[in-house]
Structure 1
Amino acid sequence: MTATAAERGSAPAATDARGRHRVVVTGLGVQTPAGCDLDTFAETAWSGRSVARTVTRFDPARLSSRIACELPGFDPIRYVGAKAARRMDRFAQYAVAAALDALGDAGEVPGSADRCAVVCGVGMGGHQTFYEQSVLSASPEGMGKVSPLLVPMIIPNSASALIAMELGWNGPALAVAAACASGTTAVGEAARLIRCGEADTVLAGGCDNGVTLLSMAAFCKLGALSRRNEEPSTASRPFDRTRDGYVMGEGAAFLVLERLDLALARGARVYGEVLGYAHNNDAHHITAPLPDGSRAAQCMRRAMADAGMTPADVGSVNAHGTSTPANDAMEARALHLVFGERTPPVTAPKSVFGHLMGGAGAAEAVVAALTVARGSVPPSANFSEGDPGTSLDVVVERPRQLGARPVLSNSFGLGGHNACLVLGPVAGAGAAGLSSC
């Protein structure tokens, strides 16, 4: 496990070069296809083996893509009780569970409830409840059966509101909707709340319930999902020249962010520091990325500048890496624009646990935090050869040992939303503060 403040000796500076409060990660919680506890999640992510299988939750026979990364054995009653669970759409159940686990991992967080906030990224919200209620109301006699809970179950902000209510936190409770960049944007905006003094502690993450008949039918029509139905575990193959689409996932992930000085004062375990964040927009197309990668590259550069770093300082890249032809080609171009022909080691967690949509960037931020803390980069699954003209250093087969180095974590969403985070070791805390966890 990582060292406590007392074991680290003298405390690092409480503010950065711009006078902003420094922000650290002190807790991690996951409800994902890779595992619903941190140890299982890390073991699966670092195995480099995909967990994609044929869909079991419903009959996918009519779909062109019949594979997904489903969340195993999820039980919301463990977290909120049966009555409360019935009043939540599944996406919100995932969020509450992951947030509570993250807070449990962080330990007792002191301070006023007015100084504690929640920021949750959401892609689609309660679309499953909306679909079920729409079917119910299709006939005249069914209209009277529509649930009075329909509105609170489908609104995207219900996840952040329910977490705040569960904890009695009175600071900002925000929902971020930036498609597949929602989770990363939520973590970055949460860090801003702490940096500018509006909050001391923030639960930041993302969630989505993508493995539904309606969602998968829609993304099949969009041509986004892999059709490797006979070999699910090989379907998600980011940056590989034979990729044909992503594998749908589901779940949630949350990080506890704290002011550095307060975290060290309470002797908190620290996974790493949020060093930089940026977001921008392609302003190009609602579903297709800007092909030349220029806006994504700009976002990466801005995140590094926010961290006071240059490309040479980046130890590894946690790629968006969806496994779709257009998105991966764009990201590869963007990485070469930023880093030149020789990129840092690149990993693509979606190859292992699928695309969690609004929760993707948050789950990948957890991977980035663990990468810093462990000093190793997890391998991607199913990569053998990249597109002609690209030379990404994709980590494959086994973890790459790098030591505690900064990680650039990318997310690029429908609508042209780009968001990038830089997580790294806590400067001034000494290497012992980030030993293997």
Structure 2
Amino acid sequence: MKRRVVITGMGICAPNAIGLPAFRQAMFQGVSGLRHLPELEALGFRCQVGGIPEISEQILHEYFSTLEIRGLLSTGLIYGTVAGIEAWKHAGLVMADAENPHWDSGIIFGTSILGVDKFRESILKIDQGNVRRLGSTAVPQTMASGISAFLAGKIGCGNQVSSNSSACSTGTEAILMAFDRIQNGMADRMLAGSCSDSGPYVWGGFDAMRVVPSGFNEEPERASRPMAESAAGFVPSSGAGALVLESLESALERKANIHAEVLGGAVNCGGQRGGGSMTASNGKAVQRCITEALRTTGLKGAHIDVINGHLTATARDAEEVFNWSQALGRSGADFPLINSFKDVLGHGLSASGSMECVAAILQFEARQVIGNRNATDLHPEISQLIDPSRVPLENTPSSPETIAKASLGFGDVNACVIFKRYD
């Protein structure tokens, strides 16, 4: 018999706030984490706006030893560690003792690019003939599984410890991978999440592709405009989100605080066919991913109360809304409330799914749907398909029973997870 899976802990390291209490306040107050970055201006970037979590020395010393901090350059590793450990503690869990790992606890924590700054430092030292000066942390800071391995050592997890990488769908996919492992009885709890490095070496390729906005450098808080007619491209950002998934039996036995239930979901790929490409989604594949997520959960399209879309503030936003409409069989005033958090978070790339899942779940407890503050000029293709009231500009009182969250990534990959209120 399949086990029910719930969320008992969450952690966040986002451009607009670090730590769950501050993040909750920032999201519901519409605090933007996007700002003008002089470094990008000096380097000649077209888009000089970005989102970077502000890590203080106090935060570093709270999560890392003095020895670990020495030579620590991987921003993604920092963000992921902060979010992951916060989620673990938020769930009321403790670190394993020195001899016995938590055999029933594992980690799936993904990323797309880790340790770019450390790579740069290492390349320069090697080219200068200083390979002996690389130090012992170059490998764990730059290997793809560095974040999951580092967290496993901090917490002491003895179950599966792995990292996934599926571009912008990484975080949502990690949650579904953890869900499958618990549902099938292979673990009692899993720490799932994702992180992304920050800075020009990560974002430069997007600037070169001209998929980012260049007209809002003096108005950074207006730069990311999901579902708006004036949307001119996504604003790159970084950070990490983390969730503790746990079997319902384990959570009840521990008397843990349950924030939501994970009903299920689906992942797929459009094969870069039918209009899909390395940078664009195959619409049919997106629809199939959503309908498969519904099938696995036993829900119908009519059961979805809120959608948190991928919605990156590009020309593809209207098509994504169309795909939701087709998959759910709903339009006009019957369409669910829909929002995107990239107006205040920017596009966190591989971290986007996990950060946005944390924010989506907070809506259950707040009994509010977070507004789309920059969608003031709703795209006409969207307003023709659904009632504009379904894209609220301000926080909207609501008590959703179900929230569907999708993440769509480079390479035409998709992930959709469905959360349910737990009473």
TM-score after normalising by structure 2: 0.90
Are the equivalent residues in 2 in contact too, given 1:347–1:380 (CA < 8 A)? yes
| 1:282 alignment partner, one of 253, 256, 270 | 270
Q: Tell me by how many angstroms 1:309 deviates.
A: 0.6
Q: Are 2:381 and 1:389 aligned? A: yes
Q: Where in structure 2 are the equivalents of 1:8-407 lying within 5 Å? A: 19-56=1-38, 60-74=42-56, 75-86=59-70, 88=72, 89-108=74-93, 113-139=102-128, 141-142=129-130, 145-210=133-198, 212-227=199-214, 228-284=216-272, 287-290=278-281, 293-326=283-316, 328-339=317-328, 340-342=330-332, 343-391=335-383, 392=386, 393=388, 394-407=390-403
Alignment match, 2:418: 422
Q: Tell me by how many angstroms 1:145 deviates.
A: 4.2
Q: Tell me by how many angstroms 1:159 deviates.
A: 0.3
When residues 406 and 221 of structure 1 are mapped into structure 2, their CA distance, relative to the original with a 3 A threshold, is: same
Alignment match, 1:410: 406
1:310-353: CA deviation from partner (whole Å, max 9, x where unpaired) = 11101100111111223x23312211212332321111011111
Are the equivalent residues in 2 in contact too, given 1:125–1:154 (CA < 8 A)? yes
Distance in 2 (alpha carbons) for counterparts of 1:110 and 1:424:
29
AA in 1 matched with 2:3? H
Q: Tell me by how many angstroms 1:110 deviates.
A: 10
Distance in 2 (alpha carbons) for counterparts of 1:168 and 1:38:
23
AA in 1 matched with 2:233? G
- Extract unaligned runs of 5+ from structure 1: 1-18, 427-432
AA in 2 matched with 1:249? S
3-state SS, counterpart of residue 68 of structure 1: strand
When residues 132 and 333 of structure 1 are mapped into structure 2, their CA distance, relative to the original with a 3 A threshold, is: farther
Distance in 2 (alpha carbons) for counterparts of 1:351 and 1:330:
18
Alignment match, 1:13: none
Distance in 1 (alpha carbons) for counterparts of 2:236 and 2:106:
30
Distance in 2 (alpha carbons) for counterparts of 1:330 and 1:122:
27
- Extract unaligned runs of 5+ from structure 2: none
Q: Tell me by how many angstroms 1:39 deviates.
A: 1.6
Are the equivalent residues in 2 in contact too, given 1:31–1:37 (CA < 8 A)? yes
1:273-327: CA deviation from partner (whole Å, max 9, x where unpaired) = 0012100001115532235x2111111111122111111101100111111223x
Distance in 1 (alpha carbons) for counterparts of 2:417 and 2:292:
10
Are the equivalent residues in 2 in contact too, given 1:25–1:369 (CA < 8 A)? no
Are the equivalent residues in 1 in contact too, given 2:402–2:418 (CA < 8 A)? yes
Are the equivalent residues in 2 in contact too, given 1:374–1:404 (CA < 8 A)? no
Are the equivalent residues in 1 in contact too, given 2:404–2:416 (CA < 8 A)? yes
Q: Tell me by how many angstroms 1:374 deviates.
A: 2.2
Alignment match, 1:15: none
When residues 315 and 287 of structure 1 are mapped into structure 2, their CA distance, relative to the original with a 3 A threshold, is: same
Are the equivalent residues in 2 in contact too, given 1:85–1:93 (CA < 8 A)? no
Distance in 2 (alpha carbons) for counterparts of 1:172 and 1:205:
14
AA in 1 matched with 2:63? Y
When residues 172 and 243 of structure 1 are mapped into structure 2, their CA distance, relative to the original with a 3 A threshold, is: same
3-state SS, counterpart of residue 76 of structure 1: helix
Distance in 2 (alpha carbons) for counterparts of 1:325 and 1:136:
42
Q: Tell me by how many angstroms 1:261 deviates.
A: 1.4
Equivalenced residues, count: 405
AA in 2 matched with 1:73? I
Distance in 2 (alpha carbons) for counterparts of 1:226 and 1:205:
28
Q: Percent identity?
A: 26
AA in 2 matched with 1:195? Q
When residues 60 and 335 of structure 1 are mapped into structure 2, their CA distance, relative to the original with a 3 A threshold, is: farther
AA in 2 matched with 1:320? H
3-state SS, counterpart of residue 205 of structure 1: strand
3-state SS, counterpart of residue 291 of structure 2: helix
AA in 1 matched with 2:78? Q
Q: Tell me by how many angstroms 1:144 deviates.
A: 5.4
Distance in 2 (alpha carbons) for counterparts of 1:59 and 1:221:
14
Alignment RMSD, CA only? Answer: 2.0
Distance in 2 (alpha carbons) for counterparts of 1:37 and 1:413:
26
Q: Using the TM superposition, name which of 95-104 and 396-405 deviates more.
A: 396-405
Q: Tell me by how many angstroms 1:59 deviates.
A: 5.5
Distance in 2 (alpha carbons) for counterparts of 1:314 and 1:134:
49
Distance in 2 (alpha carbons) for counterparts of 1:321 and 1:354:
11
1:241-283: CA deviation from partner (whole Å, max 9, x where unpaired) = 1111111111111011111011012211111100121000011
3-state SS, counterpart of residue 171 of structure 1: coil
Q: Using the TM superposition, name which of 388-397 and 95-104 deviates more.
A: 388-397
Distance in 2 (alpha carbons) for counterparts of 1:76 and 1:307:
40
AA in 2 matched with 1:397? L
Alignment match, 1:16: none
TM-score after normalising by structure 1: 0.88
Q: Tell me by how many angstroms 1:230 deviates.
A: 1.8
When residues 135 and 262 of structure 1 are mapped into structure 2, their CA distance, relative to the original with a 3 A threshold, is: same
